[in-house]
Amino acid sequence: MALLVQKYGGTSVADPDRVRAVADHVARTRRQGHELVVVVSAMGRTTDELIRLANDVSKVLPGRELDMLLTAGERISMALLCMALAELGVPASSFTGSQAGIVTDGTHTRAKIVEIHGDRVRSALAAGRVAVVAGFQGVSTEREVTTLGRGGSDTTAVALAAALGAPSCEIYTDVSGVFSADPRLVPDARRLKQVSFDEMLEIAATGGRVLALRSVEFARRHHVPLHVRSSFTWEPGTWITEEETPVEQAIVTAVTHDTSEAKVTVARVPDEPGIAARLFRGLADRAVNVDMIVQNVSSHGLTDISFTVPRADLDVSLEVSRGMLPAIGAAEVSCDTEVGRVSLIGAGMKSSPGVTAAMFETLSAAGINIEMISTSSIRISCVINVDHVEAAVQLLHTAFELS
Ligand code: ASP
Ligand code: MG
């Protein structure tokens, strides 16, 4: 008998039929003799709808009140799932994040978990009950209700698995695992059997939407293997574990893409110490998450700095950069929202030269211009025009024989 932590995403509990299907699976798992902690997301698009509602009511959305509102979504799912379990004769108790002892810092709308008590969850398990926990939420050390940022239920599940000492954490979603590319763009994309934490971090950070980035960081830090699988087919999916991808596997594991960013260019910046520091300190102080940064070679003591930011942060980024023009002595700020990023990820890259060249050749053969490049030891990313993203993903998937 093992302790299992299962997380069900929004699509997995989107309507009454889905809630009953999940309850069936929970009952099945329990009949196999396992102890179960189930983490649920809000039903379907509930969180988006609550945010829309808030925006319809007011232009001012205090973080505390937004968190109070959004946590209602997961409360609905957890209560309904327990009712569906009751009908099946499975004893179950629901717990809010606060009741489950998920303690966070006080940063509303994107709080970080600092500690998990979990006493009530443990008592429920000891009493032979299934513990159903609301994902995405916690309580701050000041006893305020908080949320963990979009997609935060993954993090709740991983954190609970770590705190309770579960051997792994199952993440149920509407796809059957992690794929070599987005199957909507590449129909012959392959489901990966196993991916390393390092690769999954890069995949999650570059547009692979299956898992929230923070949950992968948490899983790696606390050594919790993840099993991403479908709640529609229940078939085995992708394991995310410590192990490196087997050597016989290809050098490249996946192609990802992201069209959610914009590019900002600060032109003709004096090429002197301290300029970049001031610019990026200004952006950091406004909590802008800068992604790729490129600075050109200078000519006549002037250079251009380009960087990408989430499109939602574009307005603030432009405001900060423009506001700084006189202070840093730069000429102008421009932006481009018609950009997208394609990335190749693979632990095998570390030891195989030539991947970068092959990637650039593939893009150039299709007449696709590369605007920015960034690399890590297991990733290469190129920023290109957004209209070329789909083709680039398909061409790279074929060129690196990922199907
Ligand atoms: N319901 C929250 C969201 O939509 C949390 C989650 O789904 O993980 O972001
Ligand atoms: Mg979700």
CA–CA dist 32, 39 (Å, integer):
19
How would residue 301 be classed by pLDDT, with cut points 50, 70 and 90? confident
Cα 182 from Cα 394, distance rounded (Å) = 10
Question: How many domains, the chain?
Answer: 3
Same domain, 294 and 331: yes
Does a structural domain hold residue 156? Answer: yes
Residues 378 and 308 in one domain: no
281 and 370 assigned to the same domain: no
pLDDT tens-digit series, residues 56-111: 999 999 999 999 999 999 999 999 999 999 999 999 999 999 999 999 999 999 99
- For the stretch 160-210, pLDDT in tens is 999 999 999 999 999 999 999 999 999 999 999 999 999 999 999 999 889
Q: What share of the chain is helix, strand, coil (3-state, %, to 5)?
A: 40, 25, 35
pLDDT in tens, 328-374: 888 899 999 999 999 999 998 888 889 999 999 999 999 999 999 99
Maximum mean pLDDT: which of 240-244, 273-277, 385-389: 385-389
Are residue 162 and residue 46 in the same domain, yes or no?
Answer: yes
Let me know if residue 222 belongs to a domain: no
Query: Is 359 a member of any domain?
Result: yes
Question: What element of type H or E holds 128?
Answer: none
Contacts of 141 (CB under 8 A, 6+ apart): 103, 104, 105, 106, 114
% pLDDT > 70, the chain: 99
Residue 310 shares a structural domain with residue 370: no
Same domain, 287 and 146: no
pLDDT digits (tens, 9 = 90+) for 36-49: 999 999 999 999 99
The predicted pLDDT at position 249 comes to 63
Point out the domain boundary residue: 306, 335, 364. Answer: 335
Flag whether 245 is in a domain: no
Ligand 1 pocket: which residues have CB below 6 Å? Answer: 9-10, 41-42, 47, 73, 135-136, 150-154
Check whether residue 160 and residue 278 sit in a common domain: no
For residues 267-291, give the mean pLDDT.
92
Give the pLDDT of residue 353. 83
In testing the pocket of ligand 1, which one of 45, 153, 158 has its CB within 8 Å of the most ligand atoms?
A: 153
pLDDT of residue 57: 98
What mean pLDDT do residues 25-53 have?
A: 97
| Protein residue whose Cα sits closest to atom 6 of ligand 1 | 151
State in Å: Cα 275 to ligand 2 middle.
39
Domain boundary residue, one of 318, 335, 352: 335
Which of 38, 46, 47, 154 has most ligand 1 atoms within 8 Å of CB, for mutation? Answer: 47
The pLDDT score that the predictor gives to residue 1 is 73
The residue range of the domain holding 304 is: 267-335
Distance from residue 10's CA to the centre of ligand 2 (Å): 5
C-alpha count within 13 angstroms, C-beta hemisphere, residue 69: 18
Indicate the pLDDT class of residue 247, thresholds 50, 70 and 90.
low
Query: Within this chain, do residues 390 and 290 fall inside the same structural domain, yes or no?
Result: no
Q: Is the pLDDT of residue 246 over 70?
A: no
Q: Are residues 384 and 278 in the same domain?
A: no
Q: Which of 136, 169, 214, 231 to probe ligand 1 with, by most ligand atoms within 8 A of CB?
A: 136
pLDDT at residue 299 in the model: 82
Under DSSP, the state recorded for 158 is: H
Residue closest by Cα to atom 9 of ligand 1 = 150
Q: Is 207 part of any domain?
A: no
Are the C-beta atoms of 257 and 392 separated by less than 8 Å?
Answer: yes
Is 34 found in the same domain as 135? yes
Query: Is pLDDT above 90 for 211?
Result: yes
Q: Report how far ligand 1's centroid is from the alpha carbon of 220 (Å).
A: 21
Pair 162, 280 in one domain: no
Q: Does 187 fall in a domain?
A: no
**In CATH, what number is assigned to the domain containing residue 304?**
3.30.70.260
Q: Assess whether 331 and 343 both reside in one domain.
A: no
Among 149, 174, 199, the domain boundary falls at 174
249 within domain boundaries: no
Q: What is the CATH number of the domain that holds 84?
A: 3.40.1160.10
* Sequence-separated (6 or more) residues with CB below 8 Å from residue 229: 170, 171, 172, 173, 176, 177, 235, 236, 237, 238
On whether residue 221 sits in a domain, the answer given is: no
Q: Is the pLDDT of residue 298 over 80?
A: no
Across residues 228-240, what is the average pLDDT?
97
Q: Is the pLDDT of residue 244 over 80?
A: no
Q: What is the value of pTM for the model shown?
A: 0.91
